[in-house]
Amino acid sequence: MFVQIHTVILRYLQMELKSPFTTSFGTMKTRPALLVEVVDEDGVCGWGEGVAFSAPWYTEETIETTWHMLETFLIPLLFQAPVYHPDELRDRFSIVRRNYMAKAALEGAVWDAFAKRHGVSLSSALGGEKKEVKVGVSIGIQPITNILKRIEQALAEGYQRIKIKIKPEWDVNVVREIRHHFPDVPLMVDANSAYSLRDIDRLQALDDYELLMIEQPLAVDDIVDHAKLQAKLKTPICLDESICSYEDAKRAIELKSCRVINIKIGRVGGLTEAKRIHDLCQQHHIPVWCGGMLEGGVGRAHSIALATLPHFSLPGDTAASANYWERDFIDPEVTVDNGRIFVRQQIGIGYTVNLTEVERRTVRSKIYKKSRG
């Protein structure tokens, strides 16, 4: 049974965050989202979400470059032939260099349509086994009193891991203060590439606080210096931005650049590549977890499905919708029960896209049709 996509609809949404989110890069008050809807010849719809930001501070991609790559290259490639399995799209899209978030958005929509065509959940289509996934919460840079209150609230809600953002001069003292109030909480820090090897003493000082991991301390494209740093740290390094493909993960494992890998669907080019990295890490006993990109409901649903694969052993970043939005654009919204998300067993992503909420936030949209003949 194949999927023949004949229509693709792109929608650019502007989402307002409940509260500003600050990292070492800057502060966001709003979050753009690019929704991708595909429709096959029998009217089956699939949904994907582009997770690039408005500026290229996380990767080189932006929401505008994502739209351009989809419109000019990837949608025409999708229209060229039926899809017998979504895994085929990795090779079909390979003539386009990088642009992983654009590829992931379209591939994810096809995965959803494929699962619906086969009458199974996206989790099952991927080979997922878990009926629930453990989740943590990510807390941006803000006054320490606010961080402490947010941690207390998150723990009361049952979140199983706390992640805080750090940067030079906003690191050791903050972790020390958190440990003073919460000595046993599972805690990790995310540097978003804010450090270099010149900061090794500062990073070694974090070894005193029994952190789960330090996420991406060094440059976004580095695995060599991370290997040097990991050899001098007791705390595991987790790579994020450095891992954009199976090959990146393979090299990082061989060089011993990290002891943990964060898998984000958008960063690695889609669910197929995410599965390949998961399998590689499983073979090498490298723990993995599913990272977040402040996604809307569709992207969040894809991450939940991915996290049901067996080797996702650490709590991910897929917090409840209400953690970020007054109202998400899916029904029901993603909820967390005592630090767990129960995986919906309905076909496809398991959630319904609320078109009223989508249209309310849509800045622009465009429909693309496969030409006849």
Beta-bridge mates of residue 262: 289
- Give the Cα-Cα-Cα angle 17, 13, 72 (nearest 5 degrees): 140
- Do the annotations mark residue 112 as ligand-binding? no
- Do the annotations mark residue 279 as ligand-binding? no
Among the options 165, 256, 369, 370, which is catalytic? 165
Q: How many CB atoms lie within 10 A of CB 126?
A: 23
Among the options 103, 163, 167, 264, which is catalytic? 264
**Cα 224 from Cα 251, distance rounded (Å):** 9
User: Residues near 219 by Cβ (< 8 Å), separated by ≥ 6?
Assistant: 193, 196, 225, 242
Phi-psi region of 361 (alpha: psi -120 to 50; beta: other; left: phi over 0): alpha
Among this protein's residues, is 131 annotated catalytic? no
- Residue among 8, 67, 11, 70 nearest 39 (CA): 8
Among this protein's residues, is 165 annotated catalytic? yes
- Residue among 283, 279, 300 nearest 291 (CA): 300
> What DSSP state is assigned to residue 270?
S
- Do the annotations mark residue 328 as ligand-binding? no
Helices 297-306 and 271-283 pack at an angle, to 10 degrees, of: 30
User: Residues near 274 by Cβ (< 8 Å), separated by ≥ 6?
Assistant: 263, 264, 265, 268, 306
**Binding-site residues for Mg(2+), please?**
190, 215, 240
Catalytically active residues are: 165, 264
